Amino acid sequence: SIQEVLFPLFFLFWLILMSMMHPHRKYDEVPNTDLGPLDPSVLVNFVIGYTPPTALAREIMRKVASDNFEDGLITEEYLSEEELEQASFLKPSNFVGVVFKDSMSYQLRFHDSIAMSSIYTESR
């Protein structure tokens, strides 16, 4: 019975000792930095397709195309995800699809993969 009491206390002691040996790291705040201008030659004839064609999605894509890239960026709207997927197979590798899930979330679809927001990535 002494062993039943001391064994958990022994393991608790080791857990506390290990946590003290490896404390959590706190990182300082990173200041804002100017990354410089984007090279527009990379985005020549770049195509961004999006779905569903709602008023909010149109406004977001118009703002992306006009505010950030004056020339070379083409936006196309598609009625469904299936049309977007077929367009990505037919278009060259400079096509990126954006699927708006709701007013606050989206998925990026590249020619051969789906990139999800980091919000959905589980912590290890």
* Residue-wise pLDDT tens digits, 9-58: 999 999 999 888 877 777 777 788 887 776 666 666 778 888 888 888 88
DSSP conformation class of 4:
H
pTM of the complete model beyond 0.75: no
Distance CA 57, CA 107 (A): 13
pLDDT in tens, 70-121: 666 778 888 888 888 888 777 767 788 888 888 788 888 876 655 454 444 4
